[in-house]
Amino acid sequence: MNRLALLLLTALAPLSWGTTYLVTTELLPTGHPLFAGLLRALPAGLVAMAIGRALPRGAWWLRSLALGTLNIGAFFPLLFIAAERLPGGVAAAVAGVQPLTILGLSALLLGDRIRPVTAIAAAVGAGGVALVVLGPAAQLDALGILAALGGVTATSVGMILTKRWGRPAGVGAVAYAGWQLTAGGLVLLPLALLFEGTPPTVDGGAALGYVWLGSVGGLLAYILWFRGIQQLPVIAPGLLALLSPVVATLLGALVAGERFTTAKVVGVVLVLVALVGGQLTALRRPRRSSRVPEPALPARRL
């Protein structure tokens, strides 16, 4: 598969995540972010592990737990908290700081050189989402913003470690995603039962929302996302995360009736310009490995 095709497939993940905010506010019962994260992660993870038929071995038990906690166990509930306390476009737009975070972390932990064009693209993207966020109808909520920033930080660290550790020999993308989704779901299980319990009622709309988030936004999205992180320069999927706020903002305006101002239009255009410019630079960059080669350790088959 050529790198452009891989990039386009990876882009499907943040495109699907952009629907999370609308689904959460319009379909899911409020006050249960841990439960929502649990249903998004654990069933999808178990299905992926059954399909992939491979269990972690050796150091990968702890690595899967660490990655699952960062990418899933911490990220999901913070994401749902932000979605409940912020308008959809605002909550997703906070993800605009992620490329800048990834640039810094990749230079620090992977030894990647920060290229000027990439840094400019990340800064322009952050400026674009700032225009989407900052407006008279933004309705900024301090806890919601902190939750969104916490989720972005957790998943940024998770992306860097995913790139650094790679994937063990003989393990496919489905099983690898299943390890992380299952680990994250198991982290969320006791927290959800202890602090929230189950919603008093789950109607048809909520059930449909949980199925969408678990299948498309969970299983399919993370299979594509983790594969893209491992095979592309890490900043490439980092910039693709800018698609999430664009989708959420457009859905917020078209479906939820959120105001779509001129500033938001300019912001979305800047995000798209930054995305295209940054990806052109990333795709021209010679492929190289940023991690220590993984020892050839076969996966344990189920």
Task: Read off the pLDDT of residues 45-60 as tens digits, 9 standing for 90 and up.
Answer: 999 999 999 999 999 9
3-state secondary structure of 142: helix
Task: Compute φ and ψ for 275, nearest 5 degrees.
Answer: -65, -50
Q: How far apart are CA 31 and CA 101, in angstroms?
A: 29
Domain boundary assignment for the chain: 3-286
Q: How far apart are CA 39 and CA 68, in angstroms?
A: 15
pTM: 0.83
Query: In this predicted model, what pLDDT tens digit does every residue of 126-169 receive, in sequence order?
Result: 788 777 766 555 566 788 888 888 888 899 999 999 999 999 98
Residue 292: pLDDT band with limits 50, 70, 90:
very low
Torsion angle in degrees (nearest 10) through CA of 119, 124, 129, 132: 170
Which of 73-77, 159-163, 205-209, 221-225 is predicted with the least confidence, judged by mean pLDDT?
A: 73-77
3-state secondary structure of 54: strand
- 89: pLDDT strictly greater than 60: no
Q: How many CB atoms lie within 10 A of CB 108?
A: 10
Torsion angle in degrees (nearest 10) through CA of 179, 180, 183, 185: -120
Across residues 102-106, what is the average pLDDT?
A: 87
Give the CA distances from residue 72 to residues 21, 29, 63, 181, in Å, rounded to whole numbers and listed in that order: 16, 20, 13, 6
Residue 265: pLDDT band with limits 50, 70, 90:
confident
Across residues 86-108, what is the average pLDDT?
A: 75
Which has the closest alpha carbon to 89: 272, 234, 259? 259
pLDDT given at position 289: 43
